[in-house]
């Protein structure tokens, strides 16, 4: 009989704690994963999708999609629009989104501080988490060039690899899940990955040495970002973005990075 190695975790729950990432030995449900892939195919601005469109977006065979949409309609997660011959998200999805937002105590503490910085310094401030290979904004307070404050819609998505927000979140991950996500990004970006990888690795190094990273992803805007993990809590990413003309200015990056890191310290203190 082989003796257990006391230095190794003896259960998947222990492995989860040791690796700081979810681990279970029980096989998952492929049907459930495929059904959830259909729900994920709906994005902001996409009101209705047909079976063919769902199959294309989820990468699934049409017969499989037909079976899954039948189940999702029966379960109340999709609604079939008879006139337009397509599927819409059902109210149950909005209830889930509301339940998620109300379960995020970080937002309650973060928003007043984010709004104070955005309005006081005329910048955009955002808080986000990752979903697969994209960042999802939990909330954002934004200052337009016209002097009108607006909020980027919670749930809006941006890619991880080319953005400071995504790279900051990636930098906050433990080593093993970070390697796994980098491998996924390499596969998804294909031939574009070598150039993106150089930017990502520079951002990871900047977070390690400076506490933040920066990138200019959207035209006319630059952003600085930092990982945010309250004690014993989940990992978030926080960013400050600001308008630029042409290439980003090093002095502007330094000034906004100081604002970002000051906000991060205030948030960690408020969440402690």
Tokens of 176: 């093993």
**Taking all residues of the chain, what is their mean pLDDT, rounded to a whole number?**
88
Report how far residue 165's alpha carbon sits from residue 137's, in angstroms, rounded to the nearest whole number.
Answer: 10
pLDDT range class, residue 271, cuts 50, 70, 90: confident
In the chain, where the domains are located: 12-95, 104-271
Q: Which of 35-49, 186-200, 248-262 has the highest mean pLDDT?
A: 186-200
Which residue did the predictor score with more confidence, 144 or 14?
14
pLDDT at 250: 87
Q: What is the pLDDT of residue 60?
A: 94
Return the pLDDT at 11: 72
Topology agreement, domain 12-95 and domain 104-271: no
CATH code that applies to domain 104-271: 3.30.450.40
User: For 12-95, CATH number?
Assistant: 1.10.10.10
- Across the range 248-262, mean pLDDT stands at 91
pLDDT digits (tens, 9 = 90+) for 80-95: 999 999 999 999 999 9
Look at residue 206 in the predicted model and tell me its pLDDT.
Answer: 97
Residues 217-253: tens digit of each pLDDT: 887 889 999 999 998 789 999 999 988 876 668 899 9
Per the CB < 8 A criterion, the answer to whether 217 and 223 are in contact is yes
User: Does the pLDDT at position 148 exceed 80?
Assistant: no
Closest alpha carbon to 212 in 223, 220, 222: 223
Share of residues in the chain with pLDDT > 70 (%): 86
Q: What is the pTM of this model?
A: 0.81
């Amino acid at each position: 009989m082989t003796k257990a190695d006391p230095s190794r975790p003896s259960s998947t729950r222990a492995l989860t704690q040791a690796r700081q990432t979810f681990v279970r030995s029980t096989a998952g449900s492929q049907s459930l994963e495929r059904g959830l892939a259909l729900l994920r195919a709906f994005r902001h601005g996409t009101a209705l999708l047909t079976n063919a469109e769902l199959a294309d977006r989820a990468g699934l065979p049409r017969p499989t999609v037909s079976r899954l949409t039948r189940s999702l309609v029966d379960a109340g997660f999709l609604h079939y629009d008879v006139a337009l011959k397509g599927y819409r998200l059902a109210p149950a999805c909005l209830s889930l989104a509301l339940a998620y937002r109300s379960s995020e105590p970080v937002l309650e503490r973060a928003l007043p501080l984010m709004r104070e910085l955005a309005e006081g310094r005329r910048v955009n401030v955002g808080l986000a988490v990752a979903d697969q290979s994209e960042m999802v904004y939990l909330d954002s307070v934004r200052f337009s060039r016209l002097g009108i404050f607006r909020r980027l819609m919670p749930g809006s998505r941006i890619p991880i690899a080319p953005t400071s927000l995504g790279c900051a979140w990636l930098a906050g991950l433990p080593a093993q899940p970070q390697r796994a996500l980098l491998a996924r990004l390499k596969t998804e970006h294909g031939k574009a990955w070598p150039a993106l990888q150089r930017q990502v690795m520079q951002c990871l190094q900047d977070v390690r040495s400076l506490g933040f990273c920066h990138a200019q992803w959207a035209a006319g805007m630059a952003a600085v970002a930092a990982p945010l993990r309250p004690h014993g809590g989940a990992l978030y990413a926080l960013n400050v973005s600001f308008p630029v003309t042409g290439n980003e200015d090093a002095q502007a990056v330094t000034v906004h990075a100081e604002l970002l890191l000051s906000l991060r310290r205030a948030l960690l203190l408020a969440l402690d």
